[in-house]
A and B are shown apart, each in its own frame.
Chain A
């Protein structure tokens, strides 16, 4: 060895674009998905579901199904007692919220098409499915209420016993809260001498459409009842089992093995989970249920589905003076676990990045005879962001200035942070000017505006529109005290443990429950840096209540900002415990020790000890200081004082073919400020995926019901999920304003793309058409709607109930698939 060469390789793990260590097994499927689990003697379940949106069950004849080959038993609600449990609503948003009981199996009445009315247990999944078709259920159809517009009239009731479809009215008023002025006064003033923008926007219903359908296995044969479920929330599920079935929590173990996506769709305690649990206990054998894709689309919870009536007041030069929101939110047939609270999360985001002096938010949750709704990526915040970002564009058009100019006039300036908003939240950090400047440059904003002018001047059949979305969000669902103040039925801390193994490896246990996020990689990077051990030496364990005993699971962009900080604190405790032992073994005083690169060294000497060596020494415990435990393992629970507030500027260029109404994305640029970044590659993946999901709401996805309450978009033929072929390459960049609510300085990124992109796309479509007299296009912006907006000056309402599905048994396909002549491809 002659000279030490400068080593080009990066030594810090944080900030490095590590390939995800979990991907090989996830992508090849050579791993444990719930449906891959097969236990000795296991029985399979199939559900019998209501085809009607609202009906009385007059009789259930299970005899033919029960006699079928391979069938063990067929049960309906009457065959169960209270140990079946109930589906809980963990967030009653008002004290007088109306909520019907939500049994896992309908008793005498079904309230949406897809509700479970009976369950079959058989020796194979095929036998169970065959027998489910043999269960004869007699229904007496009742009038169904399907749309929000109808439901608020209270003419047809989803639950006649409740006497109304209205569940709860949740109100925030800045004048009452002391966080701002009186919005009605602001609007009245603006009507007299200013600008008032009044709009109604529709947030169509979406289906989370995670890749892995939900699956549950329950093994009742051990001392503990073990449940595997494709869920985002193993800890909350365990609590729900215990709280509603009478089985002590200590007798229940819940495992979320590798889970194939969730997007909020697996943030649920499902009827299927309750039924599997009850059936396994009743039959004394392992039981499995895996839903079909059709069942998943039909009966796993849906998202969005709001109508927003908005009034924005401003001075003539575009200074916003007030925003009033009157929002109807469709709960579907039941109040799901946090279903009522999802629109309330939006309450804090309608004012977004702006300094609105007066604000009022009224949210009416409403029952209909449709699949229940709950969290879907962004949960309340995309809806709010859409509304305000669309309104800011409308205001800019009214004032006659560039939409970025009107935003700058109203947004919080970087020197004003921390800033307490009119909704009462304190934003810790941000720099909207910097993100916008960077995004504009990357986008080529001025050049595209010039091209737009050119196309307008030449009356080009393809017009160009530029859409802006300067979003922020509150994420890292946490502060337990804040959640408590909103009557949320749980806390929001997160827990972590760091264990040193005898050979010097590190086991990290987190209460977060990954379902595709890349926690194993990102958390390994954090701990590797903190303890100075190789990335490869860190193993992340999660998703099993026997291993990760405490936790609040994964949703709301919380895993890194809450769970990551818990991990940092647990790792620091390991170092605190280790230090006196290191001093003892090095025969030095604690004050003389330094810890760098995973080693303790005695200042001024060449003596040192690596953390791995120390772990071995502690395992042997031959030579420890007096009174010191032979244990370096540590744990920490972290409950932040505030949310974190990522923000960003998204710019989208859309080409609109005015002859056909077809829209085509030309360019998409975003500059997000998500604080410090642990793994840029994972962040890019989250942003890209999030963008596509938000763009899909703007352009493609719509869970359409017909007037009778049948889900018309019940397969991927009609529920249009985009693929890579439908998207362009996005350009993403970042500015960095570290969060002050956690020591890593991180902010959540899991939902950012979804929250920001929807209004950017629709703003671009509307911007292209504004010279033609168009000021709105209802989502999804189908070619037909765009064409009608151009030719009939209407935004196009709800997708019509007359519309037919490609696979709808009642139209086209069914009458013909029964025919026998000719081949079928």
Chain B
């Protein structure tokens, strides 16, 4: 488990990091928490000539209140996101999902931005970010640009971040007062989810005023279950409404087949998990 030899640079500002990217281009890989890159290097599935480490860029760490939204710095570790009071108050679904990422050790090294930029369809954070209408702040040679979740995730391990750019933060509109649950389905605890569903809801007087449902590992990118959301909003939060809505969860999804289940099984599974996620988010 010895990676091929590479050179290493650890910039302390975003500008320096962008300069390094510009210089080394496609011979470089960026390392954040290293929880996905290091296994890939050690198994020699990839051998970049340069590794650019973002670990010393302090400006990318932490969660900020921006009025109508919160901004989670790309280099904020999972353990810090999961316990952050701003995240808990305004993006409860992110807190819930982050607390389930892999295991305690991984959560103390892995980062929010690193995981999202890696764009593993089985990663736990894409679906919640998508469901909460997160905006992805990307820095490049021409300054910063912001892309919505629907454009950020472009395919299997593919994002809108181009070769000379960095994901620097994720802005999440405040969902204050929304309840949330992340229903994750695994065979062993430390595994990537076979399928998972993030549900967050705003309920007032027994009526569902807002619903956001994200699906993990049901396709090449995180998915949003728009049909389920539409079937919930404006309805009484009854068992029947939830059951009927959840039955729509697999619509349009093209889940993978792998050692843990074929696509048809996942299409069934996601309806059960969606029902449970919504029910638990409703406090059931």
Contacts and interface: CB of A to CB of B under 8 A. Distances in A.
A803 B256 CA distance: 9
B259 A805 contact: yes
Interface string B239-279: 00000000000000000111111100100110011000000
Nearest to B152: A822
Contacts of B257: 802-804
Interface in A772-825: 782-784, 787-788, 799-800, 802-807, 809, 812-814, 816-825
A824 B118 contact: yes
Contacts of A821: 158-159, 161-163, 165
A662 B189 CA distance: 13
Interface residues of B, number: 65
Given A659-B272, A825-B35, A825-B111, A720 B45 contact: no
A336 to B, nearest CB: 25
A293 interface: yes
Nearest to B164: A821
Interface stretch (A52-60, A122-130, A612-620, A735-743): A122-130
Tell me the dominant secondary structure on chain B's binding face: loop
Nearest to B168: A823
Contacts of B74: 823
Contacts of A818: 46
Contact of A662 (B39, B185, B192): B185
B210 interface: no
B115 A782 contact: no
B11 interface: no
B34 interface: yes
Contacts of B36: 824-825
Given A717-B39, A787-B265, A787-B268, 12 more contacts: A292-B1, A293-B1, A700-B188, A715-B43, A721-B188, A725-B188, A784-B260, A788-B265, A813-B157, A817-B45, A822-B159, A825-B118
A77 to B, nearest CB: 24
A819 B157 contact: yes
Contacts of B9: none
28 contacts: A130-B5, A292-B1, A292-B2, A704-B259, A720-B187, A720-B191, A723-B103, A726-B189, A782-B187, A783-B187, A784-B261, A800-B262, A805-B258, A807-B40, A812-B156, A812-B256, A819-B157, A819-B158, A820-B25, A820-B26, A820-B163, A821-B159, A823-B74, A823-B113, A823-B161, A824-B30, A824-B117, A825-B36
A704 B28 CA distance: 34
Q: Which of B25, B29, B43 has the most chain A CB atoms inside 10 A of its CB?
A: B43
Given A816-B157, A825-B33, A713 B190 contact: no
A420 interface: no
B180 interface: no
Given A712-B259, A783-B194, A784-B262, A816 B158 contact: yes
A722 B189 CA distance: 8
A487 interface: no
Contacts of B192: 717, 806
B129 to A, nearest CB: 14
B54 interface: yes
Contacts of A149: none
Nearest to B36: A825
A718 interface: yes
B217 to A, nearest CB: 11
Interface string B16-52: 0000000001111111111111011001111000000
B119 interface: yes
B214 interface: no
B91 interface: no
Q: Which of A660, A782, A809 has the most chain B CB atoms inside 10 A of its CB?
A: A660
A804 to B, nearest CB: 5
A822 B167 contact: yes
Interface of A: 125-126, 129-130, 133, 292-294, 659-660, 662, 699-700, 702, 704, 712-713, 715, 717-718, 720-723, 725-726, 782-784, 787-788, 799-800, 802-807, 809, 812-814, 816-825
A809 B45 contact: yes
Contacts of B30: 822-824
A129 B113 contact: no
Contacts of A813: 40, 45, 157
Nearest to B118: A825
Contacts, number: 157
A820 B34 CA distance: 15
A761 B177 CA distance: 43
B166 interface: yes
Interface of B: 1-2, 4-5, 25-37, 39-40, 43-46, 54, 74, 103, 110-111, 113-115, 117-119, 122, 156-159, 161-163, 165-167, 185, 187-192, 194, 256-262, 265, 268-269, 272-273
B45 A823 contact: no
Contacts of B1: 292-294
Given A700-B188, A812-B157, A820-B29, A825 B34 contact: yes
Nearest to A713: B259
A723 B2 contact: no
A717 B187 CA distance: 12
Contacts of B37: 824-825
A725 B161 contact: no
Contacts of B158: 816, 819, 821-822
A74 to B, nearest CB: 17
A782 B25 contact: no
Contacts of A718: 259
Nearest to A702: B259
A126 B191 contact: no
Contacts of B262: 784, 800
Q: Which of A294, A783, A824 has the most chain B CB atoms inside 10 A of its CB?
A: A824
Contact of A782 (B31, B189, B261): B261
Contacts of B45: 807, 809, 813-814, 817
Q: Which of A126, A721, A814, A822 has the most chain B CB atoms inside 10 A of its CB?
A: A822
A628 B193 CA distance: 73
B258 A824 contact: no
B122 A725 contact: no
Contacts of B159: 821-822
Q: Which of A800, A814, A816 has the most chain B CB atoms inside 10 A of its CB?
A: A816
Contact of A804 (B119, B162, B190, B259): B259
Identify the 10 closest CB pairs spanning chains A and B, nearest first: A825-B114, A816-B157, A725-B189, A823-B117, A823-B30, A822-B161, A820-B26, A824-B37, A825-B118, A784-B261
Contacts of A704: 259
Nearest to A809: B45
Nearest to A722: B188
Given A715-B43, A804-B256, A700 B187 contact: yes
Given A294-B43, A820-B26, A825 B115 contact: yes
